[in-house]
Structure 1
């Protein structure tokens, strides 16, 4: 069961964060931001946060300002980054959450904004970056790429990417990481942008892929 707290995003007011405490903590925290189309309570976010926390990692998720206010249109980039920075500061200031090893990341847009933070002057203050379904380009527009900042990221980076992701396949990401300092790809065979397999693959194989991804994320966060 997650607990909640609120933090301020400058003059834009408070947003809500959820904390998934590890039952057997290994002294590391992962902050995950949601994608553009849904808040932190989306089933994908809930499921991944629970999976990773079950593997010894304290996980914190949060809403961006627009989702906290019930709006559908994402905030401008500057406000998305400001919310991310406020989330990081609130986690570092919060008693009880281990921040000696702190990794940031997120689903789709949330991960993209985290990657921008990691590519900035603050990047070296984190221990890693986890990107779940990185939105490399819009669907059907592979030349409209969002990767110009990625080679500047100085910290270890883990992409968890499906082979059917219309916003960037695992194969496309694998080619991209060759240009980065310290990055690798966890490939989800048959996974789409939300790591979901086709129904005909069956629930057992879907569970196997998600469990494998959570295992890799937890090991990555711990620096294993």
Structure 2
């Protein structure tokens, strides 16, 4: 209704999970990034206007690693994994300091992979806006109460 088109895709390991029903670990980073590049190559010619890239959790992280390279008009990350579960001492934010693509990160305040306190300590590019969901977790779900 607002004139926004959305293209969804699955990384190879997620598609295989759906088909086999088995739990598989993510593909190597190189495979995930090439999958993103291929989807972008297919979609870009079909879009007359601006094109934002993004994703949920690791999908958003992979999109953030490519947004500048691809020349995306914007980046949207839902539940960005600022660090792996239980490893806040190893943040995944180095590239976010230099990111030039206008970016919106929607993050839950209770996200186990990057809460408000942890994220406040990171040097993020001025192109990044973080929008906090009160009481939201990594899936952006609020508390039941």
Which TM class, normalised by the smaller chain length? 0.7 to 0.9
1:65 equivalent in structure 2 = 12
Match of 1:10 in 2: none
Aligned pair in 2 of structure 1 residues 161, 131: CA closer, same or farther (>3 Å)?
Answer: same
Q: Is the 8 A contact 2:36 2:63 kept in 1?
A: yes
Confirm or deny that 1:130 pairs with 2:76: yes
Quote the Cα distance in structure 2 between the aligned partners of 1:77 and 1:115: 13
**1:29-40 aligned within 5 A:** none
RMSD in angstroms over aligned alpha carbons? 1.7
Which residue number in structure 2 is paired with residue 155 of structure 1? Answer: 101
Kept in 1, the 8 Å contact 2:98–2:124? The answer is: no
Q: Cα distance, 1:152 vs. partner? A: 2.2
Give 3-state SS (helix, strand or coil) of 2:86's partner: coil
Q: How far apart are the structure 1 equivalents of 2:89 and 2:45?
A: 41
In the alignment, the residues of structure 1 paired with residue 36 and residue 132 of structure 2 have an alpha-carbon distance, to the nearest angstrom, of 26
2:82 touches 2:113 (CA, 8 Å); kept in 1? yes
Superposition TM-score, scaled by structure 1 size: 0.58
Match of 1:194 among 118, 126, 139: 139
Which structure has greater strand proportion? 1
The answer to whether the 8 Å contact 1:173/1:185 transfers is no
CA distance in 1 between counterparts of 2:62 and 2:2 reads 30
Any idea what SS the aligned residue of 1:161 has?
A: strand
Change (3 A) 1:186 1:66: same
Unaligned 5+ segments in structure 2 are 18-22
Give 1:175 shift.
4.0
In the TM superposition, what are the counterparts of 1:170-181 in structure 2 within 5 Å?
170-176=116-122, 178-181=123-126
Give the drift of 1:171.
3.6
Q: How many residues align?
A: 140
SS of equivalent to 2:8: strand
